[in-house]
Structure 1
Amino acid sequence: MEPQFLQHSSRTSNKPGYRLAFARSEEDIRATQRLRYQVFAEELGARLRCRIPGHDSDLYDPFCEHLVVRAGASHDIVGTYRVLSPAAARQVGAYYSEGEFDMSCLENLRPQMVEVGRSCIHRDHRSGAVITMLWGGLADYMVRHGYEYLIGCASIGMADGGHNAANLFRQLSPTQIAPIDYRVQPHNRLPFERLANGLPAFMPPLIKGYLRAGAWVCGEPAWDPDFNTADILLLLPLSRFNARYARHFVKGTT
């Protein structure tokens, strides 16, 4: 498989009206933080500790690269993912996910492990085109830099008291669970045994996409009280990246 690399700065997409880029200015980063606040706080009700009113920001933002999708002639940022490289994780002292999980079992992967998170899309642009572009940008970033592992927390809403999250974890197939060597431990464990009620689980589209791409769930979910979500840690080794997804997200594959 020999990918034709995309430009790191920006490119014009074949999706009409959208453009993929990495944030290159402080104002771009502020715009991503405002979008995150709109989605996480105003739409989903998360309790955010905001350094700047109306902005979702934390100590990791200055160390991350911010992948964005802009829409139309306005160039408004309508989708974003933040990316923490192994070198940047060493600078900040930890991966964001380590706030929720003991990840000591992944120690040997750190030199090749990129963390992604804070993914969100404006409610008026959730047709599928924006997330496809963001995934394409992530795939290109990983291949171009030679990184081998992608990790990130994925959230399941708990507006129902956590029953769906518990059912989802219980209903994962053995092939979707990471090998024992990659099992992390949540700091604030979700008591899924007590919450599971046996009903069919709804799987959020983002988690479904990760699993179809070849990701593993690295053990039991954590409870995030600020976002009122159950979070699972996902690990995607590029060696497991589903070939159909690779052809879809990385240009020039054969």
Structure 2
Amino acid sequence: MQQPILQTEIRTSSAKLSLSMASTAEELREVQRLRYKVFIETMGLTALASEDGLDSDEFDEHCDHLIVRDTNTLRVVGTYRLLSAARAHKLGRVYSENEFDLSRLNNVRSRIVEAGRACIHPDYRGGSVIMLLWSGLAEYMRRERCDFLAGCASISLADGGHNAVAVYTSLAAKHMAPVEYRVTPHLPFPYSKLEAAQSPQIPPLLKGYMRSGAWICGEPAWDPDFESADLFLLMPLANLDSRYARHYGVEG
């Protein structure tokens, strides 16, 4: 593990929250248990159930893991997985390449941090946890001297995919990346064959990315395991809106 991010704490009306980086095997298991609760149990993805109650894959050991903990209960209530450019180079790939052809990004790979597996405990979704996670992400990117944040944002297909169509078409009109940053899904989500929902319901994480200046880098991929349509996002740090920069602590 790299040197941990300087611990940060905030108080809310109901909890005291701390931000840190996982530094032990037990902390990683806590992260994986939270991810299992959110991604498998809460979403009802019984096909992905496991006996150990952990959401884990081969990338976990190569990544750094931000942790938000409720210091009153010591429970991990939020997490974000980060893959530095150096570790991605050593590994030979990033997680998003499971879903997308990223060959057009080869010239900026050394300047990208990939973020993923963001999740927040259902009892702590008032905004403070995600704010702490973004604060840690900003500090991590400064430390790694990277100019781009990349990752996938998922849209549930529980309604048959109609909201995913509405979200993609509405966001693509305003937030599509320049052509030199476009990617191609390996398994495209057939959005053109479905009717869009009348009013798009943008997932909170995706909404946060858009407000912070992220680009959508092409058409959505279909993830049948997680029953979602996934968008590949790229966010230049230079695009951060000043009001979010103040929140995230990245004003220069």
Q: Distance in 1 between matches of 2:238 and 2:74?
A: 35
- Name the aligned partner's letter for residue 48 of structure 1: L
Residues 114-159 of structure 1: CA deviation (Å, up to 9, x unaligned): 0000010111111111011001110111123221000010000000
Total equivalences in the alignment: 246
Q: Distance in 2 between matches of 1:14 and 1:160?
A: 37
The answer to whether the 8 A contact 1:45-1:227 is kept is no
Partner of 1:161: 160
Partner of 1:208: 207
Matched, 1:130 2:129: yes
The answer to whether the 8 A contact 2:30-2:76 is kept is yes
Partner of 2:8: 11
Residues 172-226 of structure 1: CA deviation (Å, up to 9, x unaligned): 2533000111110000100101113352211111111100100000010000000
- Name the aligned partner's letter for residue 90 of structure 2: Q
Which structure is richer in relative contact order (CA contacts within 8 A, separation 6 or more)?
A: 1
- Name the aligned partner's letter for residue 204 of structure 1: P
The answer to whether the 8 A contact 2:156-2:164 is kept is yes
- Name the aligned partner's letter for residue 163 of structure 1: H
Q: Once superposed, which parts of structure 1, at least 4 consecutive aligned residues long, lie more than 3 Å away?
A: none
SS of corresponding position for 1:12: strand
Paired-residue identity, %: 48
- Name the aligned partner's letter for residue 169 of structure 2: R
Q: Distance in 2 between matches of 1:121 and 1:129?
A: 10
Partner of 1:48: 48
39-48 or 167-176: which moved more? Answer: 167-176
Q: Distance in 2 between matches of 1:140 and 1:243?
A: 16
Q: Distance in 2 between matches of 1:165 and 1:150?
A: 23
Q: State the Cα RMSD in Å.
A: 1.6
Partner of 1:4: none
* TM-fit CA distance, 1:70: 0.5
The answer to whether the 8 A contact 1:170-1:196 is kept is no
- Name the aligned partner's letter for residue 100 of structure 1: E
Partner of 2:216: 217
The answer to whether the 8 A contact 1:100-1:222 is kept is yes
- Name the aligned partner's letter for residue 23 of structure 1: A
Residues 56-102 of structure 1: CA deviation (Å, up to 9, x unaligned): 00000000000000002332111000000011112222100000000
Structure 2: which 5+ residue stretches go unaligned? none
The answer to whether the 8 A contact 1:102-1:185 is kept is yes
Structure 1: which 5+ residue stretches go unaligned? 1-6
Counterparts in 2 of 1:43-82, with a 5 A limit? 43-46=42-45, 47-48=47-48, 50=50, 53-82=52-81
The answer to whether the 8 A contact 1:70-1:76 is kept is yes
Partner of 1:121: 120
* TM-fit CA distance, 1:168: 1.2
